[in-house]
């Protein structure tokens, strides 16, 4: 049985990784959450009036434990905030939810950051923080030792001020930064690059998948896209490159771009406006896969994710394929690309009862199933 009772010095609570998946073996918090809460408790940093900002809380552990301070929960992940809301549902206190691209405008006293996977995203978050921190603000980050490198600490030094780390406990460590108002102003690490063979320009905010170059799986899918449908969903759209190509191949089609990352959807929207200045049929949605969506669609195209937060797995792909079956019209098509070893072939066969191999190379395979 997975442990769900999250004991901590502030507010012990029942904590799960939402949306729930079968055979879940991982807890919804880690040793870095525990270390951070213990440090806050022992150092008496928080007071009744403290304005608290929590960044990158994966499933709601920090937000639930510290909910008496009515924190702001800021994240790039729709699914993380959904999980936090579900875990908060039996707790009376109020939380304010903000996306990673919302403007930060009121000053904060304490900022807690779970160290994200990529440096560019951390840099983006630290740059955005500058407008709301003062030399009195406490900035404390937490992560597992393997996620904290010299380059991570350098980012805190450059963007916040003098930085030190705690001793490691259960392979977790804290980063403590003293705010220095003299740090150099920096620009957000947004990247733009071209895909010349398709005459496309791609916009990538800091937390977008494969933000520096075209993903190799996406490349194979781009060469083998399904045509002649009237409506498409680019599911897990990232920067939107797949949907852009679909629009080029099917100028009259309605394309919907969906991702759980706010930065991904904002990037896809910016890229669409750049590549199709006259286009108006596209829609953009931040959502957990196809959850809650109703109208039937002709075709769903997807390069599925293979991890949620720091955990690797194929449960999101399963969720996407199963929801796609429900969402497609009769005779509709799903087209996906995946690493060969992920065995998407057998998953699609099981769900749709049919699967065709459209193209493959040493590493990837493009598959299609019909409802």
The binding site for ligand SAM (CB under 6 A) comprises 79, 209-210, 215, 218, 236-238, 241-242, 258-261, 264, 288-289, 303, 305, 316
Please answer whether residues 106 and 132 qualify as being in contact, where contact means their C-beta atoms are separated by less than 8 angstroms: yes
Question: Considering beta carbons, is residue 125 or 177 the nearer one to ligand SAM?
Answer: 125
Please answer whether residues 264 and 208 qualify as being in contact, where contact means their C-beta atoms are separated by less than 8 angstroms: yes
Closest separation between CB of residue 360 and ligand SAM, Å? 17
DSSP-derived pairing of the beta strands 72-75 and 52-55: parallel
- b/e burial code for range 317-328 (CB count within 10 A of at least 16 → b): bbbbbebbbebb
Please answer whether residues 217 and 339 qualify as being in contact, where contact means their C-beta atoms are separated by less than 8 angstroms: yes
Closest separation between CB of residue 137 and ligand SAM, Å? 30
Beta bridge partners of 367: 336, 357
Three-state DSSP state, 326? helix
Asked whether the bond before 124 is cis by omega within 30 degrees of 0, the reply is no
Question: Considering beta carbons, is residue 241 or 334 the nearer one to ligand SAM?
Answer: 241
Tokens in use for 39? 């440090």
Please answer whether residues 125 and 116 qualify as being in contact, where contact means their C-beta atoms are separated by less than 8 angstroms: yes
Question: Considering beta carbons, is residue 159 or 256 the nearer one to ligand SAM?
Answer: 256
Question: Considering beta carbons, is residue 247 or 288 the nearer one to ligand SAM?
Answer: 288
Closest separation between CB of residue 102 and ligand SAM, Å? 18
Please answer whether residues 323 and 289 qualify as being in contact, where contact means their C-beta atoms are separated by less than 8 angstroms: yes
Closest separation between CB of residue 208 and ligand SAM, Å? 7
Closest separation between CB of residue 324 and ligand SAM, Å? 12
Question: Considering beta carbons, is residue 54 or 218 the nearer one to ligand SAM?
Answer: 218
Closest separation between CB of residue 260 and ligand SAM, Å? 4
Closest separation between CB of residue 148 and ligand SAM, Å? 23
d(CA 277, CA 85): 37
Closest residue by Cα to residue 260 from 183, 216, 172, 320: 320
Closest residue by Cα to residue 248 from 271, 217, 276: 276
Question: Considering beta carbons, is residue 137 or 335 the nearer one to ligand SAM?
Answer: 335
Question: Considering beta carbons, is residue 112 or 268 the nearer one to ligand SAM?
Answer: 268
């Amino acid at each position: 049985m997975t442990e769900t009772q999250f004991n901590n010095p502030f507010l012990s609570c029942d904590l799960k990784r939402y949306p729930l998946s079968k055979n879940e073996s991982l807890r919804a918090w880690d040793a870095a959450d525990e270390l951070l809460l213990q440090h806050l408790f022992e150092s008496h940093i928080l007071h009744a009036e403290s304005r608290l900002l929590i960044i990158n809380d994966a499933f709601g552990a920090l937000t639930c434990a510290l909910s008496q301070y009515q924190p702001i929960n800021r994240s790039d992940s729709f699914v993380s905030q959904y999980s936090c809301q579900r875990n908060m549902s039996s707790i009376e206190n109020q939380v304010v939810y903000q996306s990673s691209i919302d403007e930060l405008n009121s000053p904060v006293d304490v900022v807690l950051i779970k160290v994200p996977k990529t440096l560019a995203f951390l840099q983006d978050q630290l740059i955005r923080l500058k407008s709301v921190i003062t030399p009195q603000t406490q900035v404390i980050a937490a992560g597992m030792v393997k996620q904290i490198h010299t380059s991570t600490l350098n980012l805190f030094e450059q963007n916040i001020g003098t930085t030190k780390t705690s001793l490691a406990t259960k392979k977790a460590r804290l980063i403590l930064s003293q705010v220095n108002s003299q740090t150099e102003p920096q620009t957000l690490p947004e990247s733009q690059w071209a895909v010349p063979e398709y005459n496309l320009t791609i916009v990538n905010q800091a937390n977008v998948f494969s933000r520096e170059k075209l993903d190799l799986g996406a490349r194979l899918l781009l060469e083998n896209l399904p045509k002649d449908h009237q409506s498409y969903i680019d599911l897990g759209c990232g920067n939107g490159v797949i949907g852009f190509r679909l629009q080029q191949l099917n100028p009259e089609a309605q394309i919907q771009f969906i991702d759980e990352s706010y930065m991904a959807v904002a990037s896809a929207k910016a890229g669409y406006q750049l590549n199709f200045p006259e286009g108006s049929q596209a829609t953009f949605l931040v959502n957990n896969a196809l959850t809650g969506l109703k109208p039937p669609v002709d075709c769903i195209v997807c390069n599925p994710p293979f991890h949620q937060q720091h955990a690797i797995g194929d449960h999101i792909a399963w969720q996407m394929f199963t929801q796609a079956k429900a969402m497609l019209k009769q005779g509709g098509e799903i087209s996906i690309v995946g690493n060969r070893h992920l065995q998407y072939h057998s998953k699609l066969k099981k769900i749709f009862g049919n699967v065709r191999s459209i193209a493959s190379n040493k590493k990837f395979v493009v598959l299609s199933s019909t409802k």
